[in-house]
Amino acid sequence: MICGLVGRYQRKLAHVLDVIGYEPGVSHVAAMSVVVHGKGVHFFLDTYVEEDPDARQIAEATLLAAARLKLFGIVPKVALLAGSNFGSRNTRGASKMREALTLIRKAAPELEVEGEMQADAAVVPEIREHLFPNANFSGPANLLVFPDLDSANISFNLVRSLTDGVVIGPILMGAAKPVHILTPSATVRRLVNMTAIACVDAQIHALATAK
């Protein structure tokens, strides 16, 4: 299902969760937005759902997003973002991201994830390697996980506007059935892209429920 071209995202989300509910084993949903631009593809999490997620919610959303990247055939390289680098400050956001990192590594030890770090360290490997040579992944991060909705949404909109990139999403993850809530600014191209993703989601869901 695709909806959201008219009305507010949160109102549509409330209806979706009331009717469809959560995927088994999942306690929260999350929205991931994608920008395809000249320097690559970047995934932004969580751009529309949780205003101020706790470490557990961030960890769960990150695992959902990493699984989604794998479905796209992309190896997730996850950066947990904050206003500090690898313990240089103990702000609420930085502490939350460090706690989320511990939870993620416990749940998925094979996942290439590191943090907390500033955005430049995430996307410029030379900066990260200078600050933290033993990071858990090499090259630029492609999955950018933010400490709150405002920072995620602002960053996503800045990147898409400054790069004139192709936008995909928001991709809703964690609902019991395939559903995506778009925004009133969605173009025809974005609607077509999200319809294709929803169709693939439906096929995967049908195969999973048939087992």
What does the pLDDT read at residue 89? 86
Parse the chain into domains and list their residue ranges: 2-210
Write the pLDDT tens digit of every residue in 75-98: 999 999 999 998 888 899 999 999
**Structural contact between residues 47 and 31, judged by C-beta atoms closer than 8 angstroms:** yes
Give the distance from CA 130 to its chain's centroid. Answer: 26
Residue 47 token pair:
């751009």
Write the pLDDT tens digit of every residue in 157-199: 999 999 988 898 899 999 998 889 988 887 888 888 888 888 8
d(CA 7, CA 196): 22
Of 29-33, 80-84, 138-142, 162-166, the least confident: 162-166
- 3.40.1260.10, 3.40.50.10750, 3.90.1170.20, 1.20.120.920: CATH of 2-210: 3.40.50.10750
What does the pLDDT read at residue 211? 63
Q: Specify the pTM.
A: 0.91
- Whether the pLDDT of residue 208 is over 70: the answer is no
CA distances from 197 to 86, 150, 188 (A): 35, 25, 14
What does the pLDDT read at residue 63? 97
